[in-house]
C-alpha cells in the first residue's frame, strides 16, 4: 500500500494484524514511542490526515492513501513547530520518552483548547515531571529561565524526536526474544517440551533452565555484589512467582517468537505458595528458597532474607517516662515505578567477539561486571552501554533483561532484542517493597520525645534483590531525624511467592517515613502541640548524633543543615495567601461528581505536614571516575553516569563549564558506556550530582589548571594572570584559542564518602467530600534543603516529579494480586498513575545552605521529595475528617467507608481520636 | 499493539458486503471497527479480522423519529453532532464522551458500536443509549435483523445479547427521549480515572423520571418513578432495585462505595429534575 509519512511517499505492506505504531517504526520513524501499546499513555501519538491518534491502536492498513505526521515531520525544516519550541522553552520534559506524544497532542489543539489542557491530556502520561512544565508548554506560557537554569543538552533532540532511546535502533539480522511466564506462584518444572515451538518457522532457539548457568546471582546491582543475596537463576527449574520466566524463544520475528512461546508445553508440579509475609514467618510455612548459607540469605528456613535490630538507651524506661504514647501499625502497598520506557536490551557480538549490550539501565558498569561473572567472561570481553533512558526511579538498578539477552546472544551468536511489553513490565520486573511497620512513640507534656520504637516487616517477594539494602536504609533516616535518648528498631525482610520487590525511589524511606511521621503527627495532636513546633522541639540539630540502629561511627556528617529553614518556609507559605496558580491547581485537581466544587458545605477542609531526612549518598561506597579533554570544538566529558530524566547531564555540563569558564553548550558529553569512561557505580541513590558530578568537577578543575599553566608558559606570564573563557585562555591582552590546548586532559575520581544529609518538608491543604469520600488537594507546598542548588529549574522539576509520583502512590496506585498470586491489573487502565488533571501544582521552596561535602555546595535531591508526601497527606485528611488513615493508598471508596459520622456532621473535631491503641498514661 | 496471531484481514466494501458476513463469523474471526479495544490486548484466538468500516453506513441520521447512530460512528463524530434545540437531553452526548477513560484522541477512532459490544460496565456509550431508551438493530445470518432495547443489550461484564457472528448495525434513539430534560452524575476514584458509577436521569412529560445506573452494576439498571421522588425515596428505591450483592466489584471502586454513590446521585438527580419539573409547571 502507499501512504505518506512526513511528506515522503511510502510504499510498504503492513502485516494483517499490525498496528500503525510498529509499522512506522519499521520505516525508521523511531520518534513514535511505545509506552504501553494499549492506548493509555499517548507516547505513540501521530497525526493521520491532521487528526491526532494513538498509533498503537490503529490498524496499519488504515493509513493507506493518507498522510501521517510523526514528531520527526512536525518542524518546517529547521524551524520548530510552536509546540516544539514551547516544550523546549519550558523544558517540559525530564526523560523525554513521553515528549513526542505530548508535542503531537499539543500541535493538534486549537488555541482555546490549549488554555485548558488538563482533560485533553488524560491520554498522555508523564511519570517524571508532575506535569507543571508540560502544562506551561501546552499553554505556550513557559516561565523564563533564571541565570542558573541551563537547559538540558538533549532538549532539541527530545522535542524533535531525534533523541535515541534504548529501542530506537534496528541492527540488521536481529532476532527477537519472547519470554514464557509462569502462570503459577509456586511450582517445580518437571519437564518442558519445546518440540512444537522449535517447529515454528523462524524459530532459532528455545532456551530453558537446561541452557542457563547453574550459578545464582541477584538482579540487584550494588557496588559490592555481596550486599545482595544470590538466589536467582537466569532460568530456573523452580518458579516462585506468577510471571517468573520459564523459557525464552529466540526467533526471526516477534510473531514467530510469540507463536512458539505459546506452543511450549510445561509440566509443573504445583508447590504450596505463601503469599502473606506474616504467614511466611510462621513455622511450617512453605520455604521459598531452600538455599545454602553461601547464598547469604539470613535464614532460608524461615523465609528471612535479612533482619536487623538495634537502638540506643532503654525504650521501656522511655515509655514509662512519657505523658502520652502513640502506637499504631502502618501499611504501604506494592507500587510500580511505571517508567514510560519498559525494560529492554539489545545484545550482539562485536567485531572482536565481545558481548555487547545496549540497555535501559541505571547501572551499565555494574551490569557489565555481573554479566562477566555470570558467564565467566573477562570484564574486557563485555561492553554495556546506554543511550537515553526513558525513566528509572530505581527500577533499572537491576539486571532484568540483560542476563537473558546475553544468554541468547551467546547461544545464537546473533543480535538479539528483548523489549518488555507493558503487561510484562507489570508482572515480571520489580516494585517497591510493601511494608507493615509498627511504630510506638512517647513524649512528655511539653513535647519532648522520650522513646521511639519501630518494627518493620518488609515483603521482598519471591527474590531478595535489594531486600537487605531497603530494610537497612528504611530503618535509618526516618528514625535518625529525631533527637531521642531511647530508640529501638528491628525488622525482617521476608520472602513470599509474590512478584519481587526491588529498588524504588526512597529505597525504604518512603515506607518508614509514612509510619514514623504519621505517628509523630498523632502524638503531637494528642499533646495539643502544633506539628511544626513538635518538629522544632525534637529534630536533630548540627552536632547531634544521628542515631537509628546504632550511634556510629559512620561517615554521615552535617555538611550543611537546612531543616529549620524548610520548616519555616513551609509554615509561612501555608499561612500566606496562595499564589495565583494555586487556584488553577485546585481546579485541576478534578472532579468528584461534577466539574465544579458544588455545595461548599460538602467539603471538609484540613491541613497536614511531614518532614524527611536522607543521606546524600548510599552507604558502603559509590564510585565515579571520569575524564575531560580539550577537543576540536570545545571539551569532551566522559562520565559513566546515565541520563534517564534525572537531569544530571545538564548539571555535569554546567559544573564543567563553570570550572572551565565556558558555556554548557561547549561541553560534549559521552556517557554511560563501559568503553568510554572509568568505573561508575551507577545513577542510583541520587548520586548523579553529588558523586558523579563531584568527579566531573574535580576533572574540570584539574583541566582548567593545566590549560592555565600551559597558557602561562606560552605567554610567559604568571598562572594567576590567565583567565579562561569560551574562546580560549586570555592573559596579557592576548587570547590563545582553545584549539591550542587540544589533547590536554584530566581525570576525576570520587568514592562517595563522606556523606551529608538533605531535608524535605511537605504540607498539604485538602478538601474531602463528606458524601463521596473524594479528596481534592487545594494546596501542595514543599521545601527542600538541597544545599546550593546548581540548576533551580531542574531541581524544582525533580521535586515536583517526586511529589507527583508519591501522590500517585498515596492516593491511587496499587498492584492488585489475587489469591493465586497473580497480578490482576497489569495495564495503565487498571493501574492508575497520575494524569495531568489528577495533580495539583506543588509550590517549591529552597533552603539557603552551602554543603561543605557536596560539589559546589550541592546536595542530592531526586529521591527524597517523594518520602514525606503520604504522611503529610494523611495528616491533612485527618485534620479534615478526624479519620486516621494508616494504609496507603487513600482511596475514596475506602475513606468513604471510614467517614461515618463525618458524612452528615456539620463539624468535626480534628483531635477526635479513632485509634484503638492510643494510650494516655 | 501488533496482533501477531492475525493472519488475514478481510475488508468487505459496501453495506451489503458487510451485512452478508453477519452470522457467519467463526470463533477465530472477529469484527473490526475502530479497533481501539481489539488492538489494546493480545487476541490469541483471533486469526482473521473482518473490517466493517467499509460498510459506508451514514454515521448519524437525524429524522422525525429521532437519531440513528451507526455502529461505526466514531465517538468524535457523535460528540461533534449539532442537535436540534429542543433536544434537551443532548448534553448527555458530551457528558458521556467525557466519561471515557480514554482521551479525545481515541474518540477519533473508537466507535459507538464498539463501546456497546465491549459490554464493559463503565462503557459510556452504553450509559448514553440505555438511558435514552435506544434500540439496537442487530444483523444476523442471511439478512435477518432484530432489535433489542439498549438497556438489555449488555447482560454482564463483557457479555452482550449478540449471538456468535451477529453484528450491531445501529442504535436508534427516539426523539421524545432526546427532548426530555436530563441530569448526569459520574464519579471515579481519581479525577481522570475510569468510571466507578454513572447515573443518568430523564424527566418524562408525565412527570415521572427514569433513572439509569451504569458503571456501578454489572449491567445497566433502570429505576422508573411515576412522580419525582424526594432524595430519600430515590435512595431507598435504589436499595430496593439492586440487591446488596448486585454491585460491581473491581479496581475502580468497592461495591459498598458504588452503592452509596448511586444512592447519592439518585437523590441529587431527583432534586435536579424535580426543580426542572417545577419550572415546567
| Domains of chain A by residue range | 2-159, 175-271+345-423, 300-336+431-536, 557-609+756-920, 624-750
HEC per residue, A487-522? EEEEEEEEECCCCCECCCCCCCHHHHHHHHHHHHHH
Q: Give me the pLDDT at residue A593, please.
A: 36
Hey, what CATH topology would domain A2-159 get? Ubiquitin-like (UB roll) (3.10.20)
Predicted pLDDT at A585: 41
Domain extents for chain B?
8-52, 60-177, 180-280
User: Who's near A272: CB < 8 A, 6+ residues apart?
Assistant: A186, A286
B256 close contact with A: CB closer than 8 A: yes
Per the model's pLDDT, the better-predicted residue between A504 and A550 turns out to be A504
Domain A300-336+431-536 has CATH 3.30.365.10: yes
**Whether the predicted pLDDT of A904 surpasses 70:** no
Does domain B60-177 correspond to CATH entry 3.30.465.10?
A: yes
Place of cell 452482550: B160
In sequence order, what are the residues at sequence separation of 6 or more whose Cβ sits closer than 8 angstroms to the Cβ of residue A576? Answer: none
Q: How many contiguous H segments (helices) and E segments (strands) does chain B have?
A: 10, 14
pLDDT band at B280 (very low <50, low <70, confident <90, very high): confident
Chain B interface includes A829 (CB < 8 A): yes
Q: In this model, does residue B232 exceed pLDDT 70?
A: yes
The closest CB to that of A57, out of B39, B51, B253, belongs to B39
pLDDT at A215: 97
Report the helix count and the strand count for chain A, using DSSP H and E.
25, 32
Q: pLDDT digit string (tens) for B155-186?
A: 999 999 999 999 999 999 999 999 999 999 99
Query: What's the mean pLDDT in A851-863?
Result: 94
Residue, of A37 and A594, whose pLDDT is higher? A37
**Which among B31, B46, B105 is the top mutation candidate for probing chain A, defined by the most A β-carbons within 10 Å of its own β-carbon?**
B105
- Share the mean pLDDT of chain A: 94
Which residue among B7, B190, B253 sits closest to A16, beta carbon to beta carbon? B7
Give the residue on B whose Cα is nearest the Cα of A823: B251
Beta-carbon count within 10 A of A874 CB: 27
Q: Is the Cβ–Cβ distance between A684 and A367 less than 8 Å?
A: no
CATH number of A624-750: 3.30.365.10
Helix (H) or strand (E) holding A456: strand A449-461
Task: Give which of A286, A264, A255 is closest to A183, Cα–Cα.
Answer: A264
Please state, in angstroms and as integers, the Cα–Cα distance from residue A370 to each residue in A373, A825, B6, following that order: 5, 32, 40
Question: Higher confidence at residue A412 or residue A586?
Answer: A412
Q: According to the model, what pLDDT value does residue A667 have?
A: 94
pLDDT of residue A867: 98
* A35 Cβ under 8 Å from any chain B Cβ: no
| Interatomic CA distance for residues B150 and B132, integer angstroms | 9
pLDDT of residue A597: 66
From chain A, the residues in CB contact with B5 under 8 A are: 17, 258-259
In terms of residues, how long is chain B?
A: 281
Read off the pLDDT band of A900 (50, 70, 90).
confident
> Looking at residues A585-602, what average pLDDT do you find?
53
Is the minimum CB–CB distance between A363 and chain B shorter than 8 Å? no
Inter-chain residue contact A59 with B49, CB threshold 8 Å: yes
Q: Is the pLDDT of residue A583 over 70?
A: no
Average pLDDT over residues A471-484: 96
| SS3 call for A134 | helix
Could you write out the three-class secondary structure of A580-632?
HHHHHHHHHCCCCCCCCCCCHHHEEEEEEEEEEEEECCCCCCCCEEEEEEECC
pLDDT of A647 strictly over 90: no
pLDDT of residue A599: 83
Question: What digits encode the pLDDT tens for the residues A858-893?
Answer: 999 999 999 999 999 999 999 999 999 999 999 999
pLDDT of residue A336: 98
Structure-block grid coordinates of residue B169 = 448495525
| Closest Cβ opposite residue B39 in set A19, A123, A894 | A19
CATH architecture label of A557-609+756-920? 2-Layer Sandwich (3.30)
From the options 3.40.50.300, 3.90.1170.50, 3.30.1360.120, 1.10.274.30, give the CATH code of A175-271+345-423: 3.90.1170.50
Q: Please name every residue paired with A675 in a beta bridge, in sequence order, or none if there are none.
A: none
Confidence at residue A687, expressed as pLDDT on a 0 to 100 scale:
84
What integer pLDDT is reported at residue A620 of this predicted model? 84
Q: Using CA of residue A275, residue A278, residue A281, residue A282, what is the dihedral sign?
A: negative
A57:B40 CB<8 A: yes
E strand map for A313-434: 324-332, 344-349, 355-359, 382-385, 416-419
In the block, cell 509443573 appears at A268
pLDDT for A97-151, tens place per residue?
999 999 999 999 999 999 999 999 999 999 999 999 999 999 999 999 999 999 9
Mean pLDDT of A369-381: 98
State the sign of the Cα–Cα–Cα–Cα dihedral A886, A889, A890, A896.
negative
B232 in contact with A, Cβ within 8 Å: no
Percentage of residues of chain A with pLDDT beyond 90: 91
Residue A8: alpha-carbon gap to chain centroid: 38
Pairing of strands A487-495, A304-312: antiparallel
Interface touch B32/A59, C-beta < 8 Å: yes
Q: Judge: B5–A17 Cβ closer than 8 Å, yes or no.
A: yes
Q: Does B230 touch chain A (CB under 8 A)?
A: no
CA atoms of B31 and A869, how far apart (whole Å):
47
Give the count of beta carbons closer than 10 Å to the beta carbon of residue B147: 12
Can you give the pLDDT at residue A458?
Answer: 98
Kindly state which CATH superfamily the domain B180-280 is placed in. CO dehydrogenase flavoprotein, C-terminal domain (3.30.390.50)
Do the domains A624-750 and A557-609+756-920 match in fold? yes
Rounded to two decimals, the pTM is 0.96
**Cα–Cα distance list, B97 to A353, A465, B39 (Å):** 57, 45, 20
Residue A580 pLDDT = 56
How many other C-beta atoms are found inside a 10 Å radius of the C-beta of residue A715?
A: 18
Q: Which of A53, A591, A837 sits opposite B105 (nearest CB)?
A: A53
Instruction: Read off the pLDDT of residues A704-756 as tens digits, 9 standing for 90 and up.
Output: 999 999 999 999 999 999 999 998 999 999 999 999 999 999 999 999 999 99
Note whether A637 and A670 are within 8 A (CB). yes
Those of residues 76-95 in B touching chain A at CB distance below 8 A are: none
Scan for cell 519501630, then name that residue: A454
The pLDDT, as a whole number, for residue B153 is: 98
Give the pLDDT band (50/70/90) at residue A551. Answer: confident
- pLDDT tens for A815-843 read 999 999 999 999 999 999 999 999 999 99
Interatomic CA distance for residues A377 and A410, integer angstroms: 11
Q: Identify whether the C-beta of residue A716 lies closer than 8 Å to the C-beta of residue A723.
A: no
**B205 part of contact set with chain A, CB < 8 Å:** no
The answer to whether A30 and A168 have CB atoms below 8 angstroms apart is: yes
Per-residue pLDDT, A594: 38
The answer to whether residue A600 scores a pLDDT higher than 90 is: no
Using CA atoms, how far residue A300 sits from A286, A293, A303, A501, in Å, is 11, 8, 5, 17
Taking the CA of residue A825 and the nearest CA in chain B, the distance in Å comes to 8
Give the pLDDT band of residue A596 (cuts 50, 70, 90): low
Confidence of residue A299 (pLDDT cuts 50, 70, 90): very high
pLDDT of residue B200: 98
For the question of an ipTM over 0.85, the answer is: yes
Of A56, A120, A594, the CB nearest to B104: A120
In CATH, which of 2.120.10, 3.40.50, 3.30.70, 3.30.43 is domain B8-52? 3.30.43
Where residue A778 falls among pLDDT bands split at 50, 70, 90?
A: very high
In chain B, alpha helices (H):
15-21, 75-79, 91-98, 104-107, 112-118, 124-131, 150-153, 175-178, 231-241, 255-280
Q: At what angle do helices A792-811 and A869-881 cross, to 10 degrees?
A: 60
Rounded to 10°, the helix A132-139/A82-90 angle is 140
Please classify residue A376 by burial: count the beta carbons closer than 10 Å to its beta carbon, then call 0-12 exposed, 13-18 middle and 19+ buried: exposed
Picking from B11, B40, B187, the nearest residue to A592 by CB comes out as B187
Which percentage of chain B shows pLDDT scores above 90?
97
Return the SS3 of A889: coil
Instruction: Using the predicted structure, report yes or no on whether residue A588 has a pLDDT greater than 80.
Output: no
Amino acid at each position: 500500500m502507499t501512504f505518506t509519512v512526513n511528506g515522503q511517499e511510502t510504499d510498504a505492506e503492513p502485516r494483517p494484524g499490525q498496528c500503525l505504531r510498529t509499522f512506522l517504526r519499521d520505516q525508521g520513524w523511531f520518534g513514535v514511542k511505545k509506552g504501553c501499546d494499549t492506548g493509555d499513555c499517548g507516547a505513540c501519538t501521530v497525526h493521520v490526515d491532521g487528526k491526532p491518534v494513538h498509533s498503537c491502536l490503529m490498524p496499519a492498513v488504515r493509513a493507506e492513501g493518507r498522510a501521517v505526521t510523526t514528531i520527526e515531520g512536525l518542524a518546517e525544516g529547521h524551524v520548530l513547530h510552536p509546540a516544539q519550541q514551547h516544550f523546549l522553552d519550558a523544558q517540559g520534559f525530564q526523560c523525554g520518552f513521553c515528549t513526542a506524544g505530548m508535542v503531537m497532542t499539543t500541535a493538534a489543539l486549537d488555541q482555546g483548547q490549549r488554555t485548558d489542557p488538563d482533560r485533553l491530556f488524560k491520554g498522555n502520561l508523564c511519570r517524571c515531571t508532575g506535569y507543571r512544565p508540560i502544562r506551561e508548554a501546552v499553554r505556550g506560557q513557559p516561565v523564563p529561565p533564571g541565570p542558573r537554569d541551563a537547559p538540558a543538552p538533549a532538549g532539541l533532540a527530545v522535542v524533535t524526536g531525534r533523541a535515541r532511546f534504548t529501542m530506537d535502533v534496528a541492527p540488521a539480522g536481529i532476532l527477537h526474544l519472547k519470554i514464557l511466564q509462569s502462570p503459577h506462584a509456586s511450582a517445580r518444572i518437571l519437564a518442558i517440551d519445546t518440540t512444537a515451538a522449535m517447529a515454528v518457522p523462524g524459530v532459532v532457539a528455545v532456551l530453558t533452565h537446561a541452557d542457563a548457568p547453574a550459578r545464582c546471582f541477584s538482579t540487584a546491582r550494588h557496588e559490592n555484589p555481596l550486599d545482595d543475596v544470590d538466589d536467582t537463576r537466569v532460568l530456573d527449574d523452580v518458579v516462585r512467582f506468577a510471571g517468573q520466566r520459564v523459557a525464552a524463544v529466540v526467533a526471526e520475528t516477534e510473531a514467530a517468537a510469540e507463536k512458539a512461546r505459546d506452543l511450549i508445553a510445561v509440566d509443573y508440579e504445583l508447590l504450596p505458595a505463601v503469599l502473606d509475609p506474616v504467614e511466611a514467618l510462621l513455622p511450617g510455612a512453605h520455604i521459598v528458597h531452600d538455599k545454602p548459607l553461601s547464598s547469604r540469605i539470613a535464614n532460608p528456613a524461615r523465609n528471612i532474607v535479612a533482619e536487623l535490630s538495634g537502638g540506643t538507651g532503654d525504650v521501656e524506661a522511655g515509655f514509662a517516662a512519657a505523658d502520652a504514647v502513640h502506637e499504631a501499625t502502618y501499611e504501604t502497598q506494592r507500587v510500580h515505578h511505571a517508567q514510560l520506557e519498559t525494560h529492554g536490551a539489545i545484545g550482539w557480538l562485536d567485531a572482536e567477539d565481545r558481548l555487547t549490550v545496549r540497555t535501559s539501565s541505571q547501572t551499565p558498569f555494574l551490569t557489565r561486571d555481573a554479566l562477566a561473572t555470570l558467564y565467566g567472561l573477562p570484564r574486557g570481553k563485555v561492553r554495556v552501554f546506554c543511550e537515553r533512558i526513558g525513566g528509572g526511579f530505581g527500577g533499572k538498578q537491576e539486571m532484568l533483561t540483560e542476563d537473558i539477552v546475553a544468554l541468547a546472544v551467546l547461544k545464537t551468536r546473533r543480535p538479539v532484542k528483548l523489549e518488555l511489553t507493558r503487561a510484562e513490565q507489570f508482572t515480571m520486573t520489580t516494585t517497591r517493597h510493601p511494608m507493615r511497620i509498627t511504630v510506638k512513640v512517647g513524649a512528655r507534656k511539653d513535647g519532648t520525645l522520650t522513646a521511639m520504637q519501630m518494627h518493620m516487616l518488609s515483603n521482598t517477594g519471591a527474590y531478595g534483590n535489594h531486600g537487605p539494602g531497603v530494610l537497612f536504609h528504611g530503618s535509618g533516616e526516618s528514625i535518625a531525624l529525631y533527637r531521642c535518648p531511647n530508640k529501638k528498631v528491628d525488622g525482617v525482610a521476608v520472602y513470599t511467592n509474590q512478584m519481587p520487590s526491588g529498588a524504588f525511589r526512597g529505597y525504604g524511606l518512603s515506607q518508614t517515613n509514612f509510619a514514623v511521621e504519621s505517628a509523630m503527627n498523632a502524638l503531637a495532636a494528642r499533646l495539643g502541640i502544633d506539628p511544626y513546633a513538635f518538629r522544632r522541639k525534637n529534630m536533630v540539630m548540627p552536632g547531634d548524633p544521628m542515631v537509628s540502629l546504632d550511634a556510629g561511627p559512620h561517615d554521615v556528617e552535617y555538611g550543611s543543615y537546612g531543616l529549620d529553614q524548610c520548616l519555616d518556609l513551609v509554615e509561612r507559605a501555608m499561612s500566606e495567601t496562595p499564589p495565583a496558580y494555586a487556584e488553577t491547581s485546585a481546579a485541576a485537581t478534578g472532579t468528584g461528581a461534577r466539574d465544579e466544587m458544588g455545595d461548599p458545605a460538602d467539603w471538609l477542609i484540613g491541613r497536614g505536614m511531614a518532614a524527611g531526612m536522607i543521606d546524600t549518598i548510599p552507604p558502603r561506597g559509590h564510585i565515579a571516575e571520569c575524564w575531560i579533554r580539550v577537543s576540536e570544538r570545545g571539551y569532551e566529558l566522559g562520565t559513566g553516569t546515565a541520563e534517564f530524566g534525572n537531569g544530571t547531564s545538564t548539571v555535569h555540563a554546567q559544573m564543567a563549564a563553570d570550572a572551565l569558564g565556558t558555556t554548557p553548550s561547549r561541553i560534549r558529553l559521552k556517557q554511560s558506556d563501559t568503553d568510554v569512561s572509568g568505573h561508575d557505580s551507577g545513577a542510583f541513590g541520587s548520586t548523579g550530582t553529588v558523586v558523579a558530578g563531584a568527579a566531573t568537577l574535580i576533572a574540570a578543575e584539574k583541566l582548567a589548571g593545566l590549560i592555565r599553566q600551559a597558557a602561562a608558559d606560552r605567554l610567559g606570564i604568571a598562572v594567576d594572570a590567565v583567565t579562561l573563557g569560551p574562546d580560549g585562555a586570555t592573559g596579557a591582552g592576548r587570547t590563545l584559542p582553545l584549539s591550542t590546548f587540544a589533547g590536554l586532559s584530566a581525570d576525576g575520581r570520587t568514592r562517595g564518602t563522606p556523606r551529608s544529609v538533605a531535608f524535605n518538608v511537605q504540607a498539604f491543604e485538602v478538601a474531602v467530600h463528606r458524601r463521596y469520600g473524594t479528596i481534592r488537594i487545594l494546596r501542595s507546598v514543599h521545601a527542600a534543603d538541597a544545599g546550593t542548588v546548581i540548576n533551580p529549574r531542574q531541581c524544582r522539576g525533580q521535586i515536583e516529579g517526586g511529589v507527583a509520583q508519591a501522590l500517585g502512590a498515596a492516593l491511587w496506585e496499587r498492584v492488585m494480586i489475587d489469591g493465586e498470586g497473580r497480578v490482576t491489573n497489569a495495564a495503565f487502565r487498571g493501574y492508575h498513575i497520575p494524569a495531568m488533571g489528577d495533580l495539583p501544582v506543588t509550590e517549591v521552596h529552597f533552603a539557603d545552605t552551602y554543603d561543605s561535602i557536596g560539589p559546589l555546595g550541592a546536595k542530592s535531591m531526586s529521591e527524597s521529595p517523594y518520602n514525606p508526601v503520604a504522611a503529610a497527606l494523611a495528616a491533612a485528611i485527618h485534620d479534615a475528617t478526624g479519620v486516621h488513615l494508616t494504609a496507603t493508598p487513600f482511596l475514596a471508596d475506602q475513606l468513604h467507608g471510614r467517614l461515618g459520622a463525618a458524612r452528615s456532621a456539620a463539624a468535626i473535631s480534628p483531635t477526635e481520636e479513632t485509634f484503638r491503641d492510643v494510650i494516655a498514661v | 499493539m501488533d496482533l501477531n496471531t492475525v493472519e488475514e484481514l478481510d475488508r468487505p466494501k459496501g453495506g451489503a458486503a458487510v451485512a452478508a458476513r453477519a452470522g457467519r463469523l467463526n470463533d477465530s474471526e472477529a469484527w473490526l471497527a475502530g479497533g481501539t479495544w481489539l488492538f489494546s490486548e493480545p487476541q490469541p484466538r483471533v486469526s482473521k479480522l473482518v473490517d466493517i468500516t467499509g460498510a459506508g453506513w451514514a454515521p448519524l441520521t437525524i429524522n422525525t423519529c429521532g437519531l440513528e447512530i451507526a455502529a461505526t460512528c466514531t465517538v468524535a463524530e457523535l460528540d461533534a453532532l449539532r442537535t436540534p434545540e429542543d433536544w434537551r437531553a443532548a448534553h448527555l452526548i458530551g457528558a458521556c464522551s467525557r466519561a471515557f477513560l480514554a482521551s479525545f484522541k481515541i474518540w477519533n477512532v473508537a466507535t459507538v458500536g464498539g463501546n456497546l459490544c465491549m459490554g464493559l460496565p463503565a462503557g459510556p456509550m452504553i450509559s448514553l443509549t440505555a438511558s435514552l431508551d435506544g434500540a439496537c438493530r442487530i444483523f444476523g445470518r442471511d439478512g435477518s435483523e432484530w432489535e433489542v432495547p439498549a438497556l438489555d443489550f449488555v447482560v454482564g461484564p463483557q457479555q452482550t445479547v449478540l449471538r456468535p457472528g451477529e453484528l450491531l448495525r445501529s442504535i436508534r434513539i427516539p426523539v421524545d427521549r432526546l427532548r426530555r430534560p436530563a441530569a448526569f452524575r459520574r464519579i471515579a476514584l481519581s479525577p481522570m480515572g475510569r468510571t466507578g458509577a454513572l447515573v443518568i436521569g430523564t424527566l418524562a412529560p408525565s412527570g415521572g423520571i427514569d433513572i439509569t445506573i451504569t458503571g456501578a452494576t454489572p449491567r445497566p439498571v433502570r429505576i422508573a418513578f411515576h412522580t419525582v421522588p424526594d432524595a430519600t425515596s430515590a435512595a431507598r428505591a435504589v436499595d430496593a432495585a439492586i440487591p446488596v450483592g448486585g454491585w460491581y466489584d473491581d479496581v475502580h471502586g468497592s461495591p459498598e462505595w458504588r452503592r452509596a454513590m448511586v444512592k447519592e446521585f439518585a437523590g441529587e438527580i431527583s432534586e435536579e429534575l424535580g426543580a426542572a419539573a417545577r419550572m415546567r409547571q
